[in-house]
Amino acid sequence: MATKTYTNSAELAEQRTAGQYQGLSREQLIEAYRLMYTSRKIDDREILLKRQQRIYFQISGAGHEAVGVAAGFVLKPGYDWFYPYYRDRALCLTLGATPYEMFLEGVGAADDPNSGGRQMPSHWSFPRLNVVTQSSPTGSQILQAVGCAEAGRYFAAHPEAAKKASGDYREFKNVRFYGDEVTYVSLGDGTTSEGEFWEALNTVSNGKLPVVFVVEDNEYAISVPVEVQTPGGNISRLVAGFPNFHFEEVDGTDPVETYGAFARSVAYCRAGNGPAFIHAHVIRPYSHSLSDDERLYRPDAERQRDAARDPITRTQMFLLREGILDEKGINRLEKQVEEDLQAAVDQALEAVPPKPETVTDYIYSPDLDPTSSTFETQPAVAAGSDGKKPAAKTMADLINATLRDEMQRDERIVIFGEDVADCSREQYLRDKQIKGKGGVFKLTAGLQCDFGSDRVFNSPLAEANIVGRATGMATRGLKPVVEIQFFDYIWPAMMQLRDELPLIRWRSNNGFSAPAVIRVAIGGYLTGGAIYHSQCGESIFTHIPGLRVVFPSNALDAAGLLRTSIRCDDPVLFLEHKRLYRETFGRAPYPGPDYMIPFGKAKVVQPGTDLSVITYGAVVPRALQAAQKIEREHGIKVELIDLRCLNPFDWETIAASVRKTSRVIMAHEDTLSWGYGAEIVARIADELFDQLDAPVRRVAAKDTFVAYQPILEDAILPQADDVYRAIKELADY
């Protein structure tokens, strides 16, 4: 490993970079070459191994080596944080990852520290170095890096919050922070076209966050050249207007020049001045990956022009020219590297593959089970102020009260989202000119006033920004409880929700975890909500392994399940039905600051013997109305089950009820086809076929959108009458 050059202030860095070779010693320059050469030779060995079918994929860092080594010389492993994309092999080597560890990922070994055989090679994850698990979607790492930097700043301001605590996720989440750490994030030129890149620039610029952005510009995104991605062809020109940045544009095939750019940039960030942006011009001497043939879209002349700038040969020539190494020295160094790599390859090819029975390990926390009795407590209702019965409160009230008590108990909780703050212009609050907003549904009202603007704040109007930052924060040990204003607008965050947040633990083989809570206002029956304020769609999220999905129907359950969501060690999608926020149905007094309901435990709303109705959310009161009416009119006794939690769900309660009644209806507000009920009904058909006296029925929304005109909305969404009719038909079957 290289001798590290730690730059602690802008001044020191400037002194160093002003000297010969930007302050790099001759030993460091030799070490730079050794690392760059090692990186290139690992790629070459992997290419050979792929051709021999000993590994299954290859993507190289060729041409990008000088950037990685320069960054690795300036930044500190295990201190700073790293979100490096797949071309950053040289960076990881410089930080302390070994060639053997890289070959382990290639062969997909059980001992692969990156992912235990779960991810392709070059998808870096080295917990000991603070290299955070990386994925394949281009650009999804950037907002997480922003959240990571925000968490570092938060812990510096709230050191008490970093302490361990027992009884919740904090027991299993070590927090490390130093106060001046910097977060590195890199991406390719093509990836600057992703919206999340711009959402990230927005937040680091506004928040002056210590993030070093590195665009490794090899002028191609697979076959698409840079001018198609970047108007004018130069990303530096486009981002130049963002305030608070330190900008560098360098020849990224020159390790010395690039080192200088990193030294100045990191010093700027570390001193707390704001973010930095390094635009490094590099080359891509090999095709995009082994699945690509660049000769199909790049003529020879262009490829030869690139080859003339190859950082390996350039650096070799530089060492010879400067008399730092002679030819013999170069040969000796290269021979040693190749011998070491041979040994690493031989060892990796002997490595044991992971066992098939481990495939479901680490989808969820192995340490804390939110379905366990740890999360089962009784309500502790305090008497009203006059000693009388405490007042029943709405779901909105109890969610607000639960957030308040949890924030009091756990200083790691931060809340952000669109409009969730009382008022971003704090002065108005201080002067008592205004009362404050606290959410479009007022669920977070008063929390900014009570806990401060660094714990409750507005995000930009960008949903990926909310979930991506939350993921980065949760990875560092914070507990973000963020809000998506309407379920209908969750989709810009879908990449983060489907490919990132719930996968962090599994894909890193338990190296990292991100137990964030995403609160989402969902559902219709609004008379006037129309298409874009009324959708359901929960089954899209219950289809994602690693994500807990909760959907309470009443105030008490919302309080108990929200607390479990916050204290548990898994990511949770907490769905709050807008129509139920202030409904008379299901109001309850506040159940106290420790009331919890375990996940995956349904509630039998009403016991019955003739027929089971399984439902959740806003259909619960509608089904209850139907069940009461049918008992009055026909004496049919319905057992009504509120699932409350959709992933995991309470199969035992469903099965026990079906065994008892032999007739079952699955009812939900979402559309019928491919809806949540399909899974439940399929399982009943599979496992309880012998118990049934009638076909399994479903009541759900029509397979269309929720319309504005109330007559249409009524016709589209399932009503109490629809449930009533289904019960009658099935009872008569």
What does 563 interact with, of Mg ion, ligand TPP, none (CB < 5 to 8 A by kind)? none
Cis bond before residue 648 (omega within 30° of 0)? yes
Residue 160 burial by Cβ neighbours in a 10 Å radius (0-12, 13-18, 19+): exposed
**Separation of alpha carbons 377 and 404, rounded Å:** 19
Residues designated catalytic: 533
- Is the CB of residue 414 less than 8 Å from the CB of residue 154? yes
Select from ligand TPP, Mg ion, none the partner in contact with residue 136, using the beta carbon and a kind-dependent cut-off of 5 to 8 Å: ligand TPP
Q: In angstroms, what is the minimal distance from the CB of 287 to ligand TPP?
A: 10
Site for Mg ion (CB under 5 A): how many residues? 6
Terminal CA-CA length for the chain: 76
Task: Return the half-sphere exposure (C-beta side, CA atoms, 13 A cut-off) of residue 415.
Answer: 31
Q: Using CA of residue 110, residue 112, residue 118, residue 120, what is the dihedral sign?
A: negative
Q: Which residue has the tokens 């309880």?
A: 688
Q: Give whichever of 88 and 189 is closer to Mg ion, judged by the CB atom.
A: 189
Q: Are strands 224-225 and 479-484 parallel, antiparallel or unpaired?
A: unpaired
Cα dist. 351→100, 103, 117, 204, 508 in Å?
10, 10, 11, 42, 18
Minimum separation from the CB atom of position 189 to Mg ion (A): 4
Strands 413-417 and 456-458: parallel
- β-partners of residue 638 are 611
* Alpha helix (H) residue ranges in 75-219: 89-95, 99-107, 140-157, 195-207
Residue 640: burial class (beta carbons within 10 Å; 0-12, 13-18, 19+)? buried
What is the nearest approach in angstroms of Mg ion to the Cβ of residue 424?
37
Beta bridge partners, 251, equal 281
Q: Which does 87 bind (CB under 5 to 8 A by kind): ligand TPP, Mg ion, none?
A: ligand TPP
Tell me the C-alpha distance between 354 and 470, whole Å: 31
- The token pair at 466 is 């909310």
**Which part of the chain contacts Mg ion (CB under 5 A), choosing from 17-25, 34-42, 185-193, 722-730?**
185-193
Question: CA-CA distance, 13 to 9, in Å (whole number)?
Answer: 6
Q: What residue type is assigned to position 196 of the chain?
A: E
Contact 290, 52 (CB under 8 A): no
> In 3D, which of 501, 330, 494, 517 has the Cα closest to residue 420?
517
Each residue of 677-704: b (16+ CB within 10 Å) or e? bbbbbeebeeebeeebebebbbbbbeee
Which partner from the list Mg ion, ligand TPP, none does 583 bind, CB cut-off 5 to 8 Å by kind?
A: none
Chain residues in the site for ligand TPP (CB under 6 A): 87, 136-138, 187-191, 216, 218, 220-222, 288
- The least CB distance from residue 612 to ligand TPP, in Å, is 43
320 binds, among Mg ion, ligand TPP, none (CB under 5 to 8 A by kind): none
Per partner kind, with CB cut-offs from 5 to 8 A, the member of Mg ion, ligand TPP, none near residue 137 is: ligand TPP
Residue 194, interface with Mg ion (CB under 5 A)?
no
CB of 441: closest distance to ligand TPP in angstroms? 32
Q: Is 218 a residue that touches Mg ion (CB under 5 A)?
A: yes
319 interacts with, out of Mg ion, ligand TPP, none, CB within 5 to 8 A per kind: none
Helix and strand totals (H; E) in the chain: 26, 19
By the 8 A CB rule, do 110 and 352 touch? yes
Place of tokens 């009503």: 719
Interface with Mg ion (CB under 5 A), residue from 106, 188, 468, 511:
188
Q: Which does 68 bind (CB under 5 to 8 A by kind): Mg ion, ligand TPP, none?
A: none
Contact yes or no for 289/270 (Cβ under 8 A): no
Query: Which of ligand TPP, Mg ion, none does residue 138 bind (CB under 5 to 8 Å by kind)?
Result: ligand TPP
Task: Supply the minimum distance, in Å, between the C-beta of residue 230 and ligand TPP.
Answer: 10
Cα-Cα-Cα-Cα dihedral sign, residues 504, 510, 513, 515: positive
Residue 448 contact partner, candidates ligand TPP, Mg ion, none, CB within 5 to 8 A by sort of partner: none
Residue nearest to Mg ion (CB): 188
Sheet architecture: strand order including 211-217: 81-83, 183-188, 211-217, 276-281, 246-251
Minimum CB separation of residue 138 from ligand TPP in Å reads: 4
Judged by CB under 5 A, does residue 306 bind Mg ion?
no
Question: What number of CA atoms fall less than 13 Å from residue 233's CA on the CB side?
Answer: 4
Which one, 282 or 414, has the nearer CB to Mg ion? 282
CB of 39 to ligand TPP, least distance (A): 14
Q: How far is the CB of 275 from ligand TPP (least distance, A)?
A: 19
Q: Does 189 contact Mg ion by CB under 5 A?
A: yes
Q: How far is the CB of 273 from ligand TPP (least distance, A)?
A: 27
Which positions lie near Mg ion, rule CB under 5 A?
Answer: 188-190, 218, 220-221
